[in-house]
């Protein structure tokens, strides 16, 4: 299977997006495209993305990123060679603010991003997700047509993320195995680093409920297109709706223990 595209969507999450890109850069992924869709942010996100310090690859850059008009949208494109000379691309699309509305339906932003992806597999994530372990290889080992691979995603503050990173580095991180341990990373509950979402916890516990998609997960293009992507008429829980439609089609979800990520808390956009 070919290498995937990491698809990130964001709106006014400048600091969280910086952390997410730096976490990807630190993993030194090889041959992986990265595509970002910015939903008309007003906090300087695109200006930040012009800074090569936040490009998610090492290696020789081919020119400087240039903001170019493309119909109603604008996109920022650039390319680099990774250290072993395998080609990877970094693309940013900035959507204009829709007339008469404050923002787009997030489902439409994600669908737009999927249309730009040229690889068979998309590793979809929101712009506040930091990779704490190498997430690409474990997710790609599991993802295939008919199976969605999901990372283990925790949620909290940057300080809580640092605690979790230290545990992973020390080899003392053990993923919670039941509901009580899901509430707190540590058994005593002194350090609260909860999982992301009650339904996600329910799935870990083996309950018959669908898992919300996708804070960080790999999905095959055939499956995504077969159900028509996200329902853009839904303003809330579009991820749950997509999961149910995928499950009705026979697609299965599998959590991948070696792929651990962290969702940084944020305010309203």
**pLDDT at residue number 267:** 60
pLDDT in tens, 197-242: 544 544 444 433 444 446 789 999 999 999 999 998 876 667 778 8
**Residue pair 22/49 in contact by the 8 Å Cβ criterion:** no
Q: Give mean pLDDT, residues 17-23.
A: 93
Write down the mean pLDDT value for the chain. 75
**pLDDT at residue number 236:** 67
Task: Name the DSSP class of 87.
Answer: E
**pLDDT at residue number 184:** 40
In angstroms, the CA 4 to CA 56 distance is 14
Q: Is the pLDDT of residue 8 over 60?
A: yes
Of residues 231 and 188, which shows the higher confidence score? Answer: 231
In angstroms, the CA 241 to CA 10 distance is 21
In angstroms, the CA 192 to CA 195 distance is 10
Residue 93, SS3?
A: strand
In angstroms, the CA 157 to CA 11 distance is 19
**pLDDT at residue number 219:** 95
Domain ranges across the chain: 5-264
In angstroms, the CA 167 to CA 161 distance is 10
Strand partners, 254: 149
Q: Is the pLDDT of residue 138 over 60?
A: yes
Domain 5-264 annotated CATH 3.90.550.10: yes
**59 Cβ partners below 8 Å, 6+ apart?**
80, 81, 82, 83
Q: Is the pLDDT of residue 196 over 60?
A: no
**pLDDT at residue number 16:** 94
Q: Which residues of 116-140 are buried (b: 16+ CB within 10 A; e: fewer)?
A: bbebbbbbbbbbbbbbbbebbebbb
Q: How confident is the model at residue 103 (pLDDT cuts 50, 70, 90)?
A: low
Q: Give mean pLDDT, residues 80-91.
A: 55
**pLDDT at residue number 208:** 37
pLDDT in tens, 29-74: 877 888 899 888 888 887 888 777 787 776 545 444 444 545 444 4
Q: What share of the chain is helix, strand, coil (3-state, %, to 5)?
A: 30, 30, 40
């Amino acid at each position: 299977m070919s290498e995937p595209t990491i698809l990130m969507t964001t709106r006014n999450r400048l600091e969280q997006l910086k952390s997410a890109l730096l976490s990807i850069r630190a993993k030194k992924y090889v041959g992986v495209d990265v595509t970002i869709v910015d939903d008309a942010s007003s906090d300087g996100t695109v200006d930040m993305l012009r800074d090569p310090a936040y490009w998610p690859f090492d290696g020789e850059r081919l020119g400087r990123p240039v903001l170019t008009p493309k119909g109603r949208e604008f996109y920022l494109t650039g390319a680099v060679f990774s250290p072993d000379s395998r080609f990877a691309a970094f693309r940013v699309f900035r959507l204009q603010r829709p007339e008469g509305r404050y923002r787009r339906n997030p489902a439409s932003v994600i669908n737009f991003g999927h249309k730009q992806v040229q690889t068979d597999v998309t590793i979809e994530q929101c712009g506040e997700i930091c990779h704490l372990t190498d997430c690409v290889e474990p997710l790609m080992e599991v993802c295939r047509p008919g199976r969605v691979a999901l990372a283990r995603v925790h949620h909290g503050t940057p300080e809580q993320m640092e605690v979790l990173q230290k545990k992973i580095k020390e080899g003392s991180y053990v993923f919670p195995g039941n509901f009580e341990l899901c509430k707190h990373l540590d058994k005593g509950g002194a350090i609260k680093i909860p999982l992301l979402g009650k339904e996600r916890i329910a799935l870990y516990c083996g309950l018959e409920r669908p898992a919300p998609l996708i804070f960080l997960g790999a999905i095959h293009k055939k499956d995504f297109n077969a159900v028509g992507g996200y329902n853009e008429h839904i303003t809330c829980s579009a991820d749950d709706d997509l999961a149910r439609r995928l499950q009705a089609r026979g697609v299965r979800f599998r959590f991948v223990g070696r792929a651990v990520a962290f969702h940084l808390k944020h305010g309203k956009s």
